[in-house]
């Protein structure tokens, strides 16, 4: 039995998850509620949220499978590095590039999920917006995709380089 509005629900849940994750981090920083547990778990939860969506979009044929593989590889590498650091009592927080990476990934994922959602009720009336050249998957979708790929790879390289002491100490 197929659930009606599957992509609409997926898009809605992903957007809610992304917004609440952002608010959680913002409130923690604003009120000084940053903890070692939060610094370790927040990026991990981000990875579960985004990696799941990348897998779903790759399986649905919205993005190339190699993009999903590159994202998963980067995220597993960084999670492994953080885990290794944690065994030595060191907590590695996300840096600025990691935040840009997350934003770029969320942009491509929201766009991809909405692109699927507008093909079904109740969002079909949004479909014409995706036919506007500047918003088309052929243009805007590719911009989001390549921005996500670049920030994912670049932030991973920088993160590994900046924290190479963890690998050297291990």
Q: Is 29 helix (H, G, I), strand (E, B) or coil?
A: helix
Residues 144, 146: Cα–Cα separation, whole Å: 6
Give, in order, the Cα–Cα distances in Å from 129 to each of 104, 119, 124, 135, 140.
Answer: 21, 12, 10, 7, 12
Tell me the per-residue pLDDT of 92-135, one tens digit each, with 9 for 90 and over.
Answer: 877 889 889 999 999 999 999 999 999 888 888 888 888 888 77
Tell me the per-residue pLDDT of 27-46, one tens digit each, with 9 for 90 and over.
Answer: 988 998 888 788 778 877 88
What crossing angle do the helices spanning 36-59 and 6-30 adopt, rounded to 10°? 160
Q: Above 90 in pLDDT, residue 15?
A: yes
Looking at residue 5, what is its pLDDT? 78
Residues 124, 32: Cα–Cα separation, whole Å: 43
**Can you read off the two tokens belonging to residue 30?**
């604003």
Length of the chain: 170
**Can you read off the two tokens belonging to residue 26?**
């913002």
Q: Above 70 in pLDDT, residue 1?
A: no
Looking at residue 3, what is its pLDDT? 64
């Amino acid at each position: 039995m197929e659930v009606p509005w599957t992509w609409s629900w997926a898009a809605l849940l992903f957007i809610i998850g992304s917004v609440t994750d952002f608010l959680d981090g913002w409130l923690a920083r604003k009120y000084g509620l940053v903890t070692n547990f939060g610094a370790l778990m927040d990026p991990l939860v981000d990875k579960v949220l985004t990696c799941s969506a990348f897998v779903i979009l790759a399986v649905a044929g919205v993005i190339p499978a190699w993009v999903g593989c590159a994202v998963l590889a980067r995220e597993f590498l960084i999670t492994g590095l953080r885990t290794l650091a944690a065994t030595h009592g060191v907590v590695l927080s996300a840096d600025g590039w990691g935040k840009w990476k997350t934003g770029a990934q969320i942009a491509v994922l929201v766009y991809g999920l909405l692109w699927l959602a507008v093909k079904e009720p109740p969002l079909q009336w949004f479909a014409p917006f995706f036919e506007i050249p500047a918003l088309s998957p052929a243009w805007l979708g590719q911009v989001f995709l390549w921005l996500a790929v670049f920030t994912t790879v670049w932030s991973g390289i920088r993160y590994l380089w900046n924290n190479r002491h963890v690998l050297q100490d291990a």
